[in-house]
Amino acid sequence: MKLKYIHLDKINDSGQTFRWLKLAQGHYVVPYNLGACEIIQTSEYEAEIVQEYGISQDWKHYFDEYRNYSKIDEEILNLYPQYKEATNFSKGIRILNQEAVETIFTFIFSANNNIKRIMNSVNSICLEYGEILYSKDDKTLYSFPSIEKMAKITEDEFTKFGAGYRAKYLVSTANTLLQSNDFKNWYNLSDEQLLKTLESLMGVGPKVARCIGLFSYSRESMFPVDTWIKKAIRNEYNMPEASDKQITDKINSIFTKHRGIIQQYIFYYYRFL
């Protein structure tokens, strides 16, 4: 399957997924549920899925093929001309539609953490409790563990995986999800209901809930505000002393459409500035 208007290295570095297995520049094995695909950048903004592993998956959905990013970028440039440079810099990034359990747990890990550490923690859990999706030349990719397996991990074990003070949140949320087990139906919730439901989970606050909504439930209205976004907004609008509330108010007054997508562009741009 061929994909256009896509840039794999940018997506891998965009902080929404932590588990792509990099074989080379522009060459990855990508996990999704109990399957994986091998994908190669074939030209500057084109890629091709050359092989599938494990259980067949809906890769068009995963890679967000049903959104027209070329058109979205045009609209973004019209709506937010002040972010022309960020938008061009981020060209080819997709907002992935990742599996919910994985997204919930990895973004609980992400709180007050850095991307390298998140990757190390999440990948070591998958190594211990996931199943092999791909293995070749000493490079191996594992699935994210099922909710049943996640619910058996103890607080001490999560600490061993580098969860720090988040260990008890992970235990609590694993048990909540195991009992409710209806997170697949959350696709049908309204944005408001989804946020409220996600924020009821231990370790999930406003920012993490929006990441989960954006990166797993396809909610492009959601605008996660993290430390990088705060820096960007304070800098862009010359408001160095702005409180968190002033920043979110500013964001809500400026960004009306494609909020999650422009958020991701700004995040990616400022993190590499």
Partner DNA sequence: GTCCAGGTGGTCA
Partner DNA sequence: TGACCACATGGA
Q: Which residues bind DNA (CB under 7 A)?
A: 14-16, 110-118, 120, 159, 162, 164-165, 169, 199, 201-209, 211, 215, 224, 226-229, 231, 243-245, 263-264, 267, 271
Q: Tell me the C-alpha distance between 17 and 190, whole Å.
A: 24
Give the nearest distance from C-beta 50 to DNA in angstroms.
26
Give the nearest distance from C-beta 17 to DNA in angstroms.
9
Q: Tell me the C-alpha distance between 153 and 165, whole Å.
A: 15
DSSP-derived letter for residue 92 is T
Give the nearest distance from C-beta 156 to DNA in angstroms.
10
Encoded tokens for 64: 């967000």
Nearer to DNA, 26 or 162 (CB): 162
Nearer to DNA, 53 or 108 (CB): 108
Residue 261 bridge partners (DSSP): none
With a CB cutoff of 8 Å and minimum separation 6, the contacts of 45 are: 4, 5, 6, 7, 91, 92
Nearer to DNA, 111 or 132 (CB): 111
Give the nearest distance from C-beta 241 to DNA in angstroms.
11
Q: Do the beta carbons of residue 33 and residue 99 sit within 8 Å?
A: yes
Give the nearest distance from C-beta 117 to DNA in angstroms.
5
Q: Do the beta carbons of residue 122 and residue 153 sit within 8 Å?
A: no
Nearer to DNA, 11 or 53 (CB): 11
Nearer to DNA, 156 or 182 (CB): 156
Q: Do the beta carbons of residue 159 and residue 121 sit within 8 Å?
A: no
